[in-house]
A and B are shown apart, each in its own frame.
Chain A
Amino acid sequence: MKRVRQFACVLLVLIVGASFAANWLAPANYATQFRDELPNAGPSKAHWLGTDDLGRDRFSRVLYGTRVSLLLAPTAALLSTVLAALVGALAGYLGGRWERLAMAGADLFLSLPWLFLLLMVRAALPLNVSAFTSVTVTFFLLGILGWAASARVLCAGARNIRNSDFLLLARASGVGRVRLLWLHVLPNLKPVLLAQFWISIPVFILSEANLGILGLGVAEPLPSWGSLLRELENFTNFGGEYWRLVPLALLVITVTSFQMILSRDEVTA
Chain B
Amino acid sequence: MVRVIIRQILRIAVTLFIGGLFAATLIRYAPGFDSDEQAMDTRLSNESVQALREARAGERNIFRFYGNFLSAAVHGDLGVSRSLNRPVRELVRERTPVTMKLIGTGLLAGWALGLILAISAAMMRLVTYDVFTTAVSGLFLCIPSAVLALVFVFVNAPGALAIGLVVFAHVFRYWRNLLDKSYAMPHIITARAKGVGPIRVLLFHVLPVSGAQLLAVAGVSVSVALGAAIPVEALCGIPGIGQLAWQAALGRDLSLLVTLTFIVTFVTLLANTTSDILGRSLRAQEA
Contact = CB atoms under 8 A, between A and B. Distances in A.
Main secondary structure of the interface of B (DSSP, over half): helix
A123 B175 CA distance: 36
B226 A214 contact: no
Given A108-B19, A213-B146, A267 B226 contact: no
29 contacts: A111-B19, A111-B223, A112-B19, A112-B23, A113-B264, A115-B230, A116-B261, A116-B264, A117-B23, A120-B26, A120-B27, A120-B245, A120-B257, A121-B27, A123-B249, A123-B250, A124-B31, A124-B249, A128-B35, A206-B144, A210-B146, A213-B147, A213-B231, A216-B249, A229-B144, A232-B147, A235-B150, A252-B142, A264-B173
Interface of A: 107-108, 110-117, 119-129, 202, 206, 209-210, 213-214, 216, 229, 232-233, 235, 238, 248, 251-252, 255-256, 259, 264, 267-268
B107 to A, nearest CB: 14
Given A121-B26, A268-B174, A112 B264 contact: yes
A246 to B, nearest CB: 13
A238 B153 CA distance: 13
A111 B268 contact: yes
A116 B33 CA distance: 17
Contacts of A252: 139, 142-143
B135 to A, nearest CB: 9
A107 B15 contact: yes
Contacts of B250: 123
A165 to B, nearest CB: 28
A180 B282 CA distance: 41
B27 A124 contact: yes
B141 interface: yes
Number of chain B interface residues as a range: 35 or more
Contacts of A113: 223, 226-227, 230, 264, 268
Contacts of A112: 19, 22-23, 261, 264-265, 268
Task: From B40, B145, B227, B265, name the one whose CB has the most chain A CB atoms within 10 angstroms.
Answer: B227
B143 A127 contact: no
Contacts of A248: 143, 147
Task: From B150, B231, B249, B252, name the one whose CB has the most chain A CB atoms within 10 angstroms.
Answer: B249
B138 interface: yes
Contacts of B265: 111-112
Interface of B: 15, 18-19, 22-23, 26-27, 30-33, 35, 37, 40, 138-139, 141-147, 150, 154, 173-174, 177, 223, 226-228, 230-231, 234-235, 245-246, 249-250, 252, 257, 260-261, 264-265, 268-269, 272
A135 B58 CA distance: 31
A256 B140 CA distance: 10
A232 B148 CA distance: 11
Contacts of A107: 15
A229 to B, nearest CB: 6
Contact of A115 (B26, B227, B260): B227
Given A112-B265, A124-B32, A126-B31, A210 B145 contact: yes
Contacts of B257: 120
B23 A120 contact: yes
A111 B268 CA distance: 6
A213 B15 CA distance: 31
B30 A121 contact: yes
Contacts of A117: 23, 26
Contacts of A259: 138, 141-142
Nearest to A137: B31
Cβ-closest 10 pairs across A and B: A124-B30, A126-B32, A123-B249, A213-B146, A255-B142, A209-B144, A113-B227, A115-B227, A125-B32, A210-B146
B173 A267 contact: yes
Task: From A111, A238, A255, name the one whose CB has the most chain B CB atoms within 10 angstroms.
Answer: A111
Contacts of B173: 264, 267-268
B177 A268 contact: yes
A127 B257 CA distance: 18
